[in-house]
Amino acid sequence: MSILVDASTRLIVQGITGREGSYHTKMMLEYGTNVVAGVTPGKGGQTVEGVPVYNSVEEAVTEHRVNAAVLFVPPQRTLGAILEQIAAGVKLIITIAEGVPVKDMRTIYHINRANKDITIVGPNSFGVISPGKAKAGFMDHRIYLEGSVGLMSRSATNSYETVNEMTKQGIGQSTCVGVGGDVIPGTSFVKLLPLFEKDEQTKAIVMIGEIGGADEEMAAAYIKNHVSKPVIAYIAGRHAPKGKVMGHAGAIVGADGAGSAESKIEILTAAGVYIADSPAQIVERLNSLLKRT
Amino acid sequence: MKLYEFQGKQLFKQYGIKTPQGVVINTIKKMSEKVMTIKFPAMVKAQVLAGGRGKAGGVKRVLNSKDAEILTTQLLGAELKDCKIDAILVEECVPFVAEYYLSITLDSGSRMPVLIFSKHGGVDIEEVALNNPDKIAKVIVDPLIGLQDFYFASLFRKAGLVEPELKSQITETIRLLYALYTEYDCMLVEINPLMRLEDGTIIAADAKVEIDDSAMYRHPDLLQWRESMYVNELEKQAKAVKFLYIDVESTGTVGVISNGSGMIMACVDWISKQGGQVACALDLSGGATAERVAEGIRILAQNPSVKALLISIFGGITRCDEIAAGILKAAQQPDLCIPIVAKLDGTNREEGMKLLIAANRANVIIAHNVKEASEKVLKTQIND
């Protein structure tokens, strides 16, 4: 099993002729991902790494049975690109771009709210990978290992660090999702939890959060009532100074302490989530959990 | 990007929100001419982005132009709450009968705009929020539904606002402010106080506006403001090479360099946990070359508080051999007198480590994880 992407994924790459788009198309193909088509307006008829390019998403979708898209388009064009995917009926849209305006993601988020069968991952995300099966994104796939831990993360570097440590110790992953560090992510933890809970391959869930926003708090409420699998969380930014943006637009804490690491950790602990203080401790905990089962 | 009060008020005027008559003074050269156009008594307001400037002495009432000029001369170029004062707003005092609070921002749970209004505006709004939170009314607006009348009815019911004439005036102000919030990609628009004058006029006595940095390209009219904004010298240097420089703690002694903000936060956490403090951090983002890494090290080393550097990398697009080469390049400079602790992982880690080991430099210390790196970086300071 695994979630979102797997051997049955039929992926289109929007922005396939760009530098990043073409390079990562090659990487995704190398990993065994079924990339069926690419889209770049005005470049229809070309091929990239043997993948046919179309002028519009609609044409690509008419010619191929598509069930997922990954977007390598600049942040200024992300809103339009996601809307084009939605209009063409694509139900899983993964977006990489960093620096998408908040208002654009607000528009997407609320369209998504009214069309619940669509899943939008990102922006500001490394993508999604189900080790051994498929990947849609730019993560370095060599650090991943197929296994039973579902991982979702707001930060790319902290997730790489964790996955690397897991793989070194022989603990594999079912699916790793880059939720992204933006103020409004298309998909937050709470939307992924039911998927991991339902997925037979996933035996434990790792959640890498950070200060700011309310996504960890919402996840805690869901975990308390609906998740039976063990959840381990790491919250970065415990010691970040208050009222400072630490780089991710989302990682800012108000003077009232809402969204602080302390408040998130307290709420998650109350929901039965194990709190690790580092990627190394996540792996320690996984070792003891998975050996018992 | 946060706007100064006078800039926020310029946007308010553009949208038809009334503000007091005022002049902006950047230099004492033409000060007298400008001040002459103002009726007294007036307020002299230092333009800084820090909150609580009134209590810090940045806002004062003056009775005549002479006092206004004396105070303006004193304030201009001085520092207030760690910010240099580059501009002064001299503004007519308006006789008000009530001070309200009004703001629009994004509600992080619902990801919808939230209207916040209180009859108890003014300098003590934080206290009201803390001790009488029910005196502050909040209404979340579904952007798919739009700013409908029922939202206003709900807001005024919660706020205890009953006078029909006043309600319709506040409604009008909120509509204008909401249009500004939406069209200018604002993260926050705040008016505190929003004054009601004797004749019933509603007027914005202050303005706090913050624009989404990612959306600045849509607002070319604001770019000139961004260029004139005061920024920290190191921030400026970092920006020139597309790095993000962040001041962390004024009492910190460690500089942190990483290729992602998540990792930076993890490093800050570990250093604090071991009793140290981070002075500043630099986010290289993805794909930094040796040249640029060396440049990044040079930038952080200029911060006089920094006594040691911690470089923690997890290479995806970033290659560890490039990072290592950059570290060595910087470490060979005779003017670099602080030690560097390096933790490299990910793409080309082996090559990077080999470079560092072969160079065998006393001022480059190798660590294998973030915890060990934070211990080592703090230890270099004890030995001093």
Is B258 near chain A, with CB under 8 Å?
yes
Q: Which residue of A has its CA nearest to B371?
A: A278
Beta bridge partners of B46: B88
Taking 90 as the threshold, does the pLDDT of residue B287 lie above it?
no
- Rounded (10°) CA dihedral B101, B107, B109, B112: 130
Residue bearing the bigger pLDDT, B370 or A86: A86
Element (H or E) spanning A26, and its range?
helix A19-30
Q: Which structure tokens are listed for B107? A: 């509600």
CB atoms A154 and B262 under 8 Å: yes
Contact between B149 and B175 under an 8 Å Cβ cutoff? The reply is: no
Q: Which of B109, B273, B314 sits opposite A160 (nearest CB)?
A: B314
SS (H, E, C) A96-125: CCCCCCHHHHHHHHHHHHHCCCCEEECCCC
Confidence band of B81 (pLDDT split at 50, 70, 90): confident
pLDDT at residue B130, as a whole number: 83
Is A198 near chain B, with CB under 8 Å?
no
pLDDT at residue A55, as a whole number: 97
Phi and psi at residue A60, in whole multiples of 5°? -60, -40
CB atoms A251 and B283 under 8 Å: no
Q: Which of A110, A143, A157 sits opposite B263 (nearest CB)?
A: A157
Q: What residues of chain B, 32 to 51, have a C-beta less than 8 Å from chain A? A: none
Tokens 């206003």 -> residue = B152
* Alpha-carbon gap, residue B226 to B174, rounded angstroms: 26
Best of A105, A135, A157 to substitute, by most chain B Cβ atoms within 10 angstroms, is A157
Is A113 near chain B, with CB under 8 Å?
yes
Query: Measured between CA atoms, how close is B149 to chain A, in angstroms?
Result: 21
CB atoms B106 and A161 under 8 Å: no
CB atoms A138 and B283 under 8 Å: no
Q: Which residue of A has its CA nearest to B369?
A: A280
Report the mean per-residue pLDDT for chain B.
Answer: 91
A9-18, A251-260, B21-30, B137-146: lowest mean pLDDT where? A251-260
> pLDDT (tens digit, 0 to 9) for every residue of chain A, 293 residues total?
899 999 999 999 999 999 889 999 999 999 999 999 999 999 999 999 999 999 999 999 999 999 999 999 999 999 999 999 999 999 999 999 989 999 999 999 999 999 999 999 999 999 999 999 999 999 989 999 999 999 999 999 899 999 999 999 999 999 999 999 888 999 999 999 999 999 999 999 999 999 888 899 999 999 999 999 999 999 998 887 665 555 444 444 444 456 788 889 999 999 999 999 888 899 999 999 987 55
Query: Measured between CA atoms, how close is B171 to chain A, in angstroms?
Result: 23
Contact between B83 and B230 under an 8 Å Cβ cutoff? The reply is: yes
* Alpha-carbon gap, residue B39 to B51, rounded angstroms: 27
Q: Which is nearest to A240 in space by CA: B50, B235, B260, B268?
A: B268
Q: Helix axis angle, A215-226 relative to A189-198, nearest 10°? A: 30
Taking 90 as the threshold, does the pLDDT of residue B123 lie above it?
no
> Within a 10 A sphere around the Cβ of A80, how many other Cβ atoms?
11
Domains of chain B (ranges; CATH) run 21-92 (3.30.1490.20), 96-222 (3.30.470.20), 233-383 (3.40.50.261)
Give, in order, the Cα–Cα distances in Å from B148 to each of B102, B142, B143, B270.
18, 10, 10, 49
Is B110 near chain A, with CB under 8 Å?
no
Q: Encode pLDDT of B160-194 as tens digits.
A: 999 999 999 999 999 999 999 999 999 999 999 99
Q: What average pLDDT does range B193-213 have in this prediction?
A: 94
pLDDT at residue A152, as a whole number: 98
Taking 70 as the threshold, does the pLDDT of residue B48 lie above it?
yes
Q: What average pLDDT does range B7-19 have in this prediction?
A: 97
CB atoms B112 and A110 under 8 Å: yes
Best of B108, B219, B273, B345 to substitute, by most chain A Cβ atoms within 10 angstroms, is B108
3-state helix, strand, coil in chain A (%, to 5): 35, 20, 40
Give, in order, the Cα–Cα distances in Å from A118 to each of A4, A85, B358, B363.
11, 10, 52, 53
Q: Which is nearest to A241 in space by CA: B56, B271, B300?
A: B271
pLDDT at residue A257, as a whole number: 56
Residue type, B320: C
* Alpha-carbon gap, residue A201 to A150, rounded angstroms: 9
Query: Measured between CA atoms, how close is B202 to chain A, in angstroms?
Result: 29
pLDDT at residue B262, as a whole number: 85
Beta bridge partners of A71: A14, A95
Is A101 near chain B, with CB under 8 Å?
yes
Best of B261, B368, B371 to substitute, by most chain A Cβ atoms within 10 angstroms, is B261
Is A74 near chain B, with CB under 8 Å?
no
Residue type, B260: G
The SS3 assignment for A166 reads helix
Q: Helix axis angle, A261-270 relative to A215-226, nearest 10°? A: 10
pLDDT at residue B174, as a whole number: 98
Alpha helices in B60-163 (DSSP H): 65-75, 125-131, 149-159
Taking 70 as the threshold, does the pLDDT of residue B267 lie above it?
yes
pLDDT at residue B215, as a whole number: 95
3-state helix, strand, coil in chain B (%, to 5): 40, 25, 35
Q: What average pLDDT does range B355-361 have in this prediction?
A: 92
pLDDT at residue A292, as a whole number: 53
Give, in order, the Cα–Cα distances in Å from A106 to each of A80, A118, A149, A187, B142.
13, 15, 31, 12, 11
pLDDT at residue A246, as a whole number: 52
Q: Which residue of B has its CA nearest to A213?
A: B108
Residues from chain A contacting residue B263 (CB–CB below 8 Å): 155, 157-158, 161
Best of A96, A103, A116, A245 to substitute, by most chain B Cβ atoms within 10 angstroms, is A103
Q: Which residue of A has its CA nearest to B264?
A: A246
Residues of B recognised as catalytic: 101, 190
Residue type, B98: A
Is A108 near chain B, with CB under 8 Å?
no
* Alpha-carbon gap, residue A256 to A170, rounded angstroms: 42
For chains A and B, CB pairs below 8 A equal 147
Phi and psi at residue B254, in whole multiples of 5°? -110, 140
Dump the DSSP string for B196-211.
EETTS-EEES--EEEE
Q: What angle do CA A175, A177, A178 make, to 5 degrees?
A: 155
Q: Which of A107, A140, A244 sits opposite B347 (nearest CB)?
A: A140
For residue B219, what are the contacts with CB-CB under 8 A and spacing of at least 6? B184, B185, B211
Tokens 């760009």 -> residue = A18
Q: Which is nearest to A202 in space by CA: A145, A133, A151?
A: A151
* Alpha-carbon gap, residue B209 to A254, rounded angstroms: 16
Best of B1, B81, B111, B239 to substitute, by most chain A Cβ atoms within 10 angstroms, is B111
Q: Which is nearest to B344 in space by CA: B336, B353, B335?
A: B353
Q: Which structure tokens are listed for A191? A: 């939307």
Residues from chain A contacting residue B370 (CB–CB below 8 Å): 161, 278-279
CB atoms A277 and B273 under 8 Å: yes
Residues from chain A contacting residue B182 (CB–CB below 8 Å): 103
Is A168 near chain B, with CB under 8 Å?
no
Contact between B196 and B96 under an 8 Å Cβ cutoff? The reply is: yes
Q: DSSP character for A240?
A: P
Query: Measured between CA atoms, how close is A272 to chain B, in angstroms?
Result: 21
For residue B148, what are the contacts with CB-CB under 8 A and spacing of at least 6? none
Residues in chain B: 384
Is A242 near chain B, with CB under 8 Å?
no
Residues from chain A contacting residue B272 (CB–CB below 8 Å): 238-239
Is B136 near chain A, with CB under 8 Å?
no
For residue A56, what are the contacts with CB-CB under 8 A and spacing of at least 6? A39, A41, A44, A84, A88
Residue type, A137: G
The whole-model pTM stands at 0.90
Cis ω for the linkage preceding B193 (within 30 of 0): yes
Is B361 near chain A, with CB under 8 Å?
no
Contact between B309 and B302 under an 8 Å Cβ cutoff? The reply is: no
Is A99 near chain B, with CB under 8 Å?
yes
B72-80: long-range pairs with CB below 8 Å, 24+: B72/B25, B72/B28, B72/B31, B72/B35, B72/B44, B73/B28, B73/B31, B75/B44, B75/B46, B76/B25, B76/B26, B76/B27, B76/B28, B78/B46, B80/B46, B80/B48, B80/B50, B80/B53, B80/B56
Query: Measured between CA atoms, how close is A140 to chain B, in angstroms?
Result: 6
| Rg of chain A over all Cα atoms, to the nearest angstrom | 19
For residue A287, what are the contacts with CB-CB under 8 A and spacing of at least 6? A169, A171
Residue type, B144: L
